[in-house]
Chain A
Amino acid sequence: MLEWPVSKRPDVDDELVDRVRQGDLDAFNQIVAAYQDRIYNLCLRMLGSPQAAEDAAQDTFMSAYRNAGKLRGANVRSWLFRIASNTCIDEVRKRQRRPLVSLDRPSSDDDARPVEVPDEDPGPEKRTLQSELHDAVQEALLDLPGDQRLAVTLCDLEGFQYEEIADAMGISVGTVKSRISRGRARLREAIRGRPELFEHYLRPIDEGGRA
């Protein structure tokens, strides 16, 4: 799952939550600063386009502020990801209703393109391979139905437990299991279809559950 050097776990306490609930913009912006990288990344993986991700992230925070009165307890992360999940799923459905024709790749999303991300420089050859790997994974991810995409992304990128995914998506844990299973099955087929890129992912790793 993702490591977040740029966005440390925020120090969200009850007092800050109380202020947010009362509409304190400064308090709310502390939460924005703490979570904006993670929210943006979720949107980016879900939508595939930096511009769409930016819009979705902004919409998420706008919606969160408008609904700050509904924030209960101090579980800000769960609350924010629930809003972000809804925003992303709405956007995915909107795109499915009015898809644009892509000449480069047939996809359920319109302007979704593999995301170009500056990695730490590992050298030209490795950089090319890594970039291809990431593009291929992102493409396969974007070909999943939105609900499966979201479940897998929350699980593998954000490291959410099934219970948390169920909470964020407003579904049962049983449905989470089903969506992750179906989503991963499709991603796995994509991996098998490009063994030259995914060889190192297919190497056996330690058994006994998630690291």
Chain B
Amino acid sequence: MLFWRNRHEVGDEELNAFVDGELEESGRRRVERHLESCAPCSEAVAGLRAVSRAMSELPAVRAPRSFALREADVTPAPASAGTGLFGSVQPLLSGVAAIAIIAFVVLAGFDIGADSSQGDDSDAASIAGDAESLQLSDARRSEVGDGDAAPSVDDGVPAQDAGALGDDENVVGYESNFTSNDDEDEPAARGGAAPPEENTEDPQTRESGQAHAGDSIAPALADDGDGMGLRVAESVAAAVAIAAGGSVLLIRWRRRATAG
């Protein structure tokens, strides 16, 4: 057995290296001297040599056929987009992912713009898709609750009018639809997440920012009521983008793995 010799002065790996002729001259002599006085190690070496011999005496087998490659084996497949079902749907998935991403960015931009303009400066609100605004908006959502972030619409009120409704009273009313216990806290919470100058902003500026950001998209979504349409559209776009994009990446990865 090799196991009990683990703490022996000559280890198993060294004995294997000795058998394989991998030791330097000094190491080889040291093992040889050790073997002269150590019966277990001598037995172990005999066993290792038996294994090595048994392996090396396995017969060589001739290849059953030629593995020479033909031109056809190495000619690239004509369909660069891939083969099979996954290959054929990949362009479609890529397109869907791209459209979904654009839709999400536009919707999120509108969402942020509308949200910011409620109590923020109009410049920030007008920049759809701006990353900083997105973070700001996310921070607000987490503070106020999930229901607040589509303030451009109110119950049944077209969004063209949302600018005019952008005062605190309407916002509070909107909030109350989603966060039942935040009616009085909402303005404070919103102010807490916004830049310091937010509370001192001229209401007129806010209104203009709101109207600017909401001009084109809000009408289509306002009818859904309570801003849920916007939120749902955002979520759907994000989900589609993730699903389609993920599928494309997966297909490419599989193809690369197969080709590699």
Contacts and interface: CB of A to CB of B under 8 A. Distances in A.
B56 interface: yes
B20 A202 contact: no
A77 to B, nearest CB: 16
A162 B17 contact: yes
A19 interface: no
Nearest to B48: A184
A185 B52 CA distance: 11
Interface string B60-95: 111111111101011000000000000000000000
Contacts of B22: 161-162, 177
Contact of B67 (A58, A180, A184, A205): A58
Given A161-B22, A177-B17, A181-B16, A134 B59 contact: yes
Interface residues of B, number: 46
A129 interface: no
Interface string A22-50: 00010011001100110111001100001
Given A36-B66, A162-B22, A177-B13, A202 B32 contact: no
Contacts of A209: 18-21, 23, 28
A37 B60 CA distance: 8
Nearest to A202: B50
Nearest to A158: B56
Given A137-B55, A185-B2, A185-B12, A62 B47 contact: no
Given A41-B61, A134-B59, A177-B17, A33 B68 contact: yes
B13 A25 contact: no
A54 interface: yes
A28 B64 contact: no
Contacts of B57: 133-134
Nearest to B47: A188
A108 interface: no
Interface residues of A, number: 63
B254 interface: no
Interface in A37-83: 37, 39-41, 44-45, 50, 54, 57-58, 61-63, 65-66
Contacts of B17: 162, 177
Interface in A95-111: none
A1 interface: yes
A36 B67 contact: yes
Contact of B50 (A6, A28, A161, A191): A191
Nearest to A131: B59
A57 B211 CA distance: 69
B13 A202 contact: no
B10 to A, nearest CB: 12
A62 B259 CA distance: 10
A62 to B, nearest CB: 7
A178 B54 CA distance: 20
B56 A201 contact: no
A210 interface: yes
B38 interface: no
Contacts of B61: 37, 40-41, 44, 115, 117
B14 to A, nearest CB: 8
A62 B69 contact: yes
Contact of B63 (A28, A37, A134, A137): A37
17 contacts: A1-B56, A6-B60, A33-B68, A37-B60, A37-B61, A40-B61, A41-B60, A54-B65, A133-B57, A157-B58, A161-B22, A180-B13, A181-B13, A188-B48, A191-B50, A191-B54, A192-B47
Q: Lowest 9 CB-CB distances: which A-B pairs, in order? A: A156-B55, A209-B21, A201-B50, A40-B63, A210-B21, A29-B68, A177-B13, A2-B60, A181-B13
Interface of B: 2-3, 12-13, 15-23, 28, 32, 35, 45-69, 71, 73-74, 259-260
Interface of A: 1-6, 25, 28-29, 32-33, 36-37, 39-41, 44-45, 50, 54, 57-58, 61-63, 65-66, 115, 117, 119, 133-134, 137-138, 141, 152-153, 155-157, 159, 161-162, 177-178, 180-181, 184-185, 187-188, 191-192, 198, 201-205, 207-210
